[in-house]
């Protein structure tokens, strides 16, 4: 809803899909970017990584998020998603990833 209020000079980056405590419906979360401070290549690679992650292509997602971290070492979203995906890849390699795994992060605490 907030995105609808923004004008064309403002940019958003989709970060993830989550379920917050007390809710059952997944929410897509976005980050409002400073157009003067964003790195277009990072935004592009993050989007590709997120798509790969959602399709369980963890190796490709990891490579893309590694590029993102190199482009901006302070990009917390890329760091978090890279760490999460490394753990999921480990589970996948050990055949421990649940068959019904979905790319929705369940937030434990507010």
The pLDDT score that the predictor gives to residue 36 is 82
Instruction: State pLDDT tens for residues 74-86.
Output: 999 999 999 999 9
Strand 27-33 to 11-19 pairing:
antiparallel
pLDDT tens per residue, range 40-53: 999 999 999 999 99
Strands in 27-33's sheet, in edge-to-edge order, are 27-33, 11-19, 105-106
HSE-up of 77 (CA within 13 Å, CB side)? 20
pLDDT at 59 over 90: yes
Rounded CA separation 43/14 (Å): 9
Cα-to-chain-centroid distance, residue 56:
13
């Amino acid at each position: 809803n907030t995105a609808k209020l923004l004008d064309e000079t403002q940019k958003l980056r989709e970060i993830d899909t989550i379920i917050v405590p007390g809710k059952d419906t997944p929410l897509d979360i976005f980050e409002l970017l400073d157009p003067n401070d964003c790195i277009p290549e990072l935004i592009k690679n993050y989007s590709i990584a997120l798509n790969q992650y959602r399709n369980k292509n963890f190796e490709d997602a990891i490579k893309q998020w590694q590029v993102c971290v190199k482009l901006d070492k302070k990009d917390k979203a890329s760091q978090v998603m890279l760490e999460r995906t490394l753990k999921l890849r480990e589970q996948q390699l050990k055949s421990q990833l649940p068959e019904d795994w979905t790319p929705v992060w369940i937030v434990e605490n507010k």
